Amino acid sequence: MLQRTRKAIILVSLLMFPVTLNYFSPYVSFDGAMNGLVSGSLILFAMLFLSGLFFGRAWCGWACPMAGLSEYALSVNGKSVNTKKLRKIRLGIFTLWFAGIISMFVLAGGIRGVVPLHMTERFISVDEPMKYIIYYMVLLLFTGLTFVLGKRGACHSICWMSPFLEGGYRLGRWLKLPQLRILSKPLSCISCGACDRKCQMGINVSEGLKKGSIEDADCILCGECTGACKKDVLSFGTRKR
């Protein structure tokens, strides 16, 4: 039931993507920064950072439009990716882009205004033929990377939003805030590996249990592992650290 609900939510989010595209756009943030404006997408990225403080990367498992696309692409290529190598690429892209945004604000003389509908004056992101081309290019990019690389390939390799979520998650951990997470009872584990096979992000959950911690900055709290475990080793919970 939990997974059906989750998949329904991410499907709706994916169907809404023509409306919401600009609010996730790295270009809209950049264009806003060139004019000294805080755009809707930059506001959304800040909100993702704040959500990470308490909910880690739950956005990626439960709400992101690209989550639906990535999960449907799993049926074509479900192999786990080399997360360490792709993380470096992802953080490299993010650093360049974010440094560019800061530089643009500096060149524009600082923040001159907040315009949530910057480049989305008609509320709907995809409202002219050129934007349809961009929309389909984004879909193609995310699907293609998952087809080629494997499980959530685009999330691991190019996503410019995940560093905000991960940053919030790490800060929340450091501040010892109560965070939503997967709790475990390692002594009940029989090392069947069902959780590993189901993990959306290619995390080796059973190995983590053996080592004493399943904490992972890549965990998107999708709950696939909790549903797969027949020994009730894994469950959702919050724990004040």
CB nearer to ligand SF4: give 173 or 198.
Answer: 198
Q: Is 225 in the site for ligand SF4 (CB under 6 A)?
A: yes
Angle, helices 40-55/162-174, rounded to nearest 10 degrees: 40
Residues constituting the chain: 241
Amino acid occupying residue 23: Y
Q: Convert residues 66-105 into a mask of x (bound to ligand SF4 by CB under 6 A) and - (unbound).
A: xx--------------------------------------
CB nearer to ligand SF4: give 39 or 143.
Answer: 143
Q: Cβ neighbours of residue 154 under 8 Å, at least 6 residues apart?
A: 66, 70, 141, 142, 145, 146
Q: Is 231 in the site for ligand SF4 (CB under 6 A)?
A: yes
Which SS3 state, helix, strand or coil, does residue 95 take? helix
What does the alpha-carbon distance between residue 82 and residue 101 come to, in Å, rounded to a whole number?
A: 29
Q: Convert residues 165-204 into a mask of x (bound to ligand SF4 by CB under 6 A) and - (unbound).
A: -----------------x------xxxxxxx--xxxx-x-
What does the alpha-carbon distance between residue 78 and residue 73 come to, in Å, rounded to a whole number?
A: 8
Q: Is 220 in the site for ligand SF4 (CB under 6 A)?
A: yes
What residue ranges bind ligand SF4 (CB under 6 A)?
Answer: 60, 64, 66-67, 155, 159, 161-162, 182, 189-195, 198-201, 203, 205-206, 209, 219-225, 228-229, 231, 233-234
